A and B are shown apart, each in its own frame.
Chain A
């Protein structure tokens, strides 16, 4: 890294800052090519859970579905909300709020006693190693592009449960995205 760029890095660089122009300027000024690698932003799907903003890499999301009628599975693990029929395909739908310590117990959303789901609620159909699985979210925010430099490791206080389903924090502008490992979040 050129000296000038290193200097800039020390003083001005912030992860969420778009500094491409500065790099160009730095490269031009001392006549050497900047060795800062081109950052490839990755796309994440951001969603809300109990008011918090979470995100998963978009490649693990197969589709987003409105909440269909769910059928509860008797005697299943508590975080299994039920099964749903998505265009003829049978999919399990899971709750991850309990795992993330956002709720004490999974909401009753399946069966005859369940109220109709909130308007914004969605089921994210995620690709997992053991087949597709649905995850209940309170609302989908949208797609965000995060560069590796915008990511931080999860602060120790955020770690929840015995397994780490929070892999890091993404910072874009003033918004913080809690990045989830879908596989871990769904593990029973």
Chain B
């Protein structure tokens, strides 16, 4: 039994430790891909968080034109599949820009990565905007009326009442959006970014082995998920206000 297991492990190590055409061993390439996945996931998350919060808040404000524009943004980016959005950013947008700009973008060394970050950032921002809006609207009107009664301005009401409560309510759904965003990074290899998925399919193509690279990627995504879920639990505990159940 152990001998058999040892043999299997040995065979696997040999596959991952064989040199690739890039000079490094395949395992090294996979880790490079993992680093790219992390990088893109974090940067897109930061963009999406800021953009999504602004849009989500804007959609709760009583300004008609602002609401119209932000609602249109949300509906459009929510209704087009991510893959199609990525292709639009990558293949279409540079052609529609003035030629000099288009050429500049196309000649950027990490053009694919930049496109992927913008595309995925916008895609996720819509989801966050919806969470922010839902969270703010779920806070009872009594709270908002109480703050108005205390003489708070609208800005103060957001700053001191609605947003602190809203983000606490949002923590669990935000965690799952973070994980969704991370999982969605796996589509950016279709526009040439060598993330974990890109390196995995590259290894499948170069070595003609399917299961071993897929197994490695599966293992990585699983571990990242566990880590994020644990971190989120910790954060929820830290952020909880005694007396208020953040999750309601």
A and B together in one complex: no
